[in-house]
Amino acid sequence: MIMTLELSVTYNKYARMNMKQIIIKITQWITLILIWLIISPLFVYLAKRWNLIGKKIRILLLLISPLMLIVYFILFLLGLQGYDDYQRKYKFANNETVERITGVAFPELDIVEYKKDNRGFLGDYNDKLTLEMEDELSESTYHYLDSIIKSGNTKWFKHGDEYSYSIMWGNGLPAPKGESEEDDGMFSLSLKKGSKIINLSHGSW
């Protein structure tokens, strides 16, 4: 009778201990799930400390956690913004692009100043660049400009000693070579005869 009572007490003691461990484990798992949803780096630490999940699975769950997905999305947006900023600053700041659009050969160009415009609600902007040519345009180039301006079949204009070029494309207007009509772009430049400085603006409308 006494032995039976002792066995019963021992059994109840172990049962309570097992129940307590089960409750602790359940609490730890619920805590881990909630922390994984909110603060995944802490999830990795607690999962290791409580010895609930192996190292490889911990790392995998960290990489696909909601917090990390948000981080990936932010980095993606920053990458897009960086690429857009680079394109806006350098796309038209080289002689090959300017020649392709205007039909006139220019020497190598260096950026002296760049003023980035803020995008409007519809994405429109108008960036301004001050460029410097490595060499002045030759007399033959100015003669060529005078001849095509005189013919009237060009986007080039002349006002005194100042030459300018302006074009818009998209929304039904034809795009210059190498540009897309879907971009709804605009491009203009001006320079004075005998000067190495070009004032260029480009953007979207």
| Residue ranges per structural domain of the chain | 2-70, 91-204
Residue 163 amino acid letter: Y
201 CB contacts (<8 Å, ≥6 apart)?
A: 126, 127, 128, 129, 186, 187, 188, 189
Helix (H, G, I), strand (E, B) or coil at 129: strand
Per-residue CA distances from 176 to 16, 30, 51, 76, 166 (Å)? 82, 61, 65, 31, 11
Helix (H, G, I), strand (E, B) or coil at 2: helix
Contact 18, 10 (CB under 8 A): no
pTM confidence score:
0.69
Q: List the chain pLDDT tens, one digit each, 205 residues.
A: 555 545 455 556 566 668 888 888 889 899 999 999 999 999 999 999 898 899 999 999 999 999 999 999 999 999 999 999 999 999 999 999 999 999 999 999 999 999 999 988 888 999 999 999 999 999 999 999 999 999 888 999 999 999 999 999 998 899 888 888 888 899 999 999 999 999 999 999 8
Please calculate the CA angle 37-40-44 and round it to the nearest 5 degrees: 130
Identify the CA nearest to 61 among candidates 25, 31, 32.
32
Cα distance between residue 188 and residue 201, in whole Å: 5
Residues, the chain: 205
Identify the CA nearest to 115 among candidates 88, 148, 135, 145.
88
CB count within 10 Å of CB 93 equals 18
Tokens 């956690």 correspond to what residue? 65
HEC profile for 12-50?
HHHHHHHHHHHHHHHHHHHHHHHHHHHCHHHHHHHHHHC
What residues pair up with 115 in beta bridges, in sequence order?
128
